[in-house]
Chains A and B, each alone.
Chain A
Amino acid sequence: MITGKLIVEQLVNGLVLGCMYASIASGLTLIWGTMKMLNFAHGEFYMIGGYFVFFALNLLGIPGVWCLVISVAIVLVLGMLLEKSIIEPLLGKPGWELSPLVVTVGASIAIQNGALKLWGEHIKNLPYYIEGTVELMGVRLAYQRLMILFVTAFVMLGFWVYTKKSRFGLGLRAVAQDRDAATLMGIDFKRVYTVTFGISCAMAALAAALLSPIFSISPWMGHAALTKGFIAVVLGGLGSFEGAILAGVLLGSVESLAVIFLSSEWKDVVSFSIFIIMLTLKPAGLFGSKEW
């Protein structure tokens, strides 16, 4: 029976899912906006992020939240290393529209299979970082889910403020809007690219670290994450950070609410339908080709 309580519960689930999509999407759109490329290995950094939390928990035995921090930090560095090794050499060579995409597809395949070989194909489970629930306005909410909402909101907002107020953020926005002019200002665009790529991967890892206790981890978990993240990026408008977040949250909410009326197998149909409708009506997405 459909009650108000059910709707609120699914809405919260939707927001939590939306946080995951928003995190992944904002990383993708950050790379597109700044470097004008698509990172097809983005889902794999999501996957690695989840696995590193698992290993940190089992090897170090420290609380989940610290494993999250460690995992995000490691993925940040790994992302920067990947960019410097396979993306940076492509700069200035013809075919930039496609070459990073092709190279990251290759990286994606390599990382997925590497994970399969090293860590096995079995799905692993992670314990919640915070146990327990709280009751708010008649609805029971898990602390873990509230944590996901707060941490994601905090990080997204924090990063957005950082880009608007800091020197690095100024450099990032300048490179995104006019790379040559930025070079004339003394901004090293290669360094901006490397750090931005790392931050993007770290956002994906954050999403995985927050959500893996709920959704568990496997070597191919990146695939679905990338697909949904990409849909959210297009819905929000390529290159728009605000758009990616809004679209991610909306996508997650709509998916979860649709499950009330349709069975859960249909949730992907709902997402893809929204995707197709948006591409037909307003291909530029919610916030168009807004530069940031």
Chain B
Amino acid sequence: MLKLSQVDAFYGDAQALWDVELEVGSGEVVTLLGSNGAGKSTVLRAISGLLPIRKGAIAFNNIRLDQIDPFKIVGQGIAHVPEGRKVFPSMTVRDNLLAGAYHSNFWSKREETLENVFHMFPQLSDRRNQMAGTLSGGEQQMLAIGRGLMSNPRLLMLDEPSLGLAPKIVEMIFEIIISINKSGTTILLNEQNAHIALQVANRAYVMETGKITLSGAASELASNAHIRSAYLGF
């Protein structure tokens, strides 16, 4: 479904990605692991077009994402839930969600999709007229995911969904991620919390300083000695 080939990316003159090769198959949950600054967010930003790539190709069902305008990518069926949530702080929960359906492909069905998202996230439904900036961290994460779902994506990309959240909330968020995958959406997930990420993923890639260093089935990597000491703490 998604294929990155030999991708190089730069922030100004500083190279951030070196020859990245990555694949996500339809229906999978794939996770990108690595510590802060490893380049995981950069990979997602390259896919959704926020960062142009300098070498290589990014193909989604044979369409070259790196050759189309960034704002058109959501129309291809990819939703990016960015690092730090990035909800629109001075908009209500409802308006934030509607913004997720802005693209003409999804706008006409927005009220129906909105009700589905409210059904999945009753906490958001209760707060639909509240300003997004006043929500708690967990509520904002739900809002950001819900906003991503408003475009009925085939691939949902989540950047560090557990960041800054209490363990109980993290559990709840990941249960939601699993159920989204079960209903047919492919998931690409960045996580520093390797423990929970490897529980939900089918496959994983490990990144260090802008390069993919390891990849394989999640269960394999969970029992890999290097991974255990570096990322799982035991």
Contact = CB atoms under 8 A, between A and B. Distances in A.
Contacts of B48: 184
Interface stretch (A20-28, A114-122, A185-193): A185-193
B82 A292 contact: no
A216 to B, nearest CB: 41
Contact of A184 (B74, B98, B107): B74
A237 interface: no
B71 A183 contact: yes
Nearest to B51: A180
Interface centre among A171, A178, A181 (most CB of B within 10 A): A181
B65 to A, nearest CB: 13
A92 B95 CA distance: 28
Interface in B37-71: 48-50, 69-71
B182 interface: no
A173 to B, nearest CB: 6
Contacts of B102: 167, 170-171, 174, 185-187
Interface residues of B, number: 28
A70 interface: no
Contact of B50 (A183, A186, A187): A183
Given A170-B95, A186-B72, A181 B86 contact: yes
Contact of A177 (B50, B79, B80, B90): B90
A145 to B, nearest CB: 35
Interface string A183-215: 111111100000000000000000000000000
Interface string B68-90: 01111111000110100011111
A36 interface: no
B53 to A, nearest CB: 15
Interface of B: 48-50, 69-75, 79-80, 82, 86-91, 95, 98-100, 102-103, 107, 147, 151
18 contacts: A170-B95, A170-B98, A173-B90, A173-B95, A180-B82, A181-B87, A181-B88, A182-B99, A183-B71, A184-B80, A184-B82, A185-B102, A185-B103, A186-B75, A186-B151, A187-B99, A188-B71, A290-B90
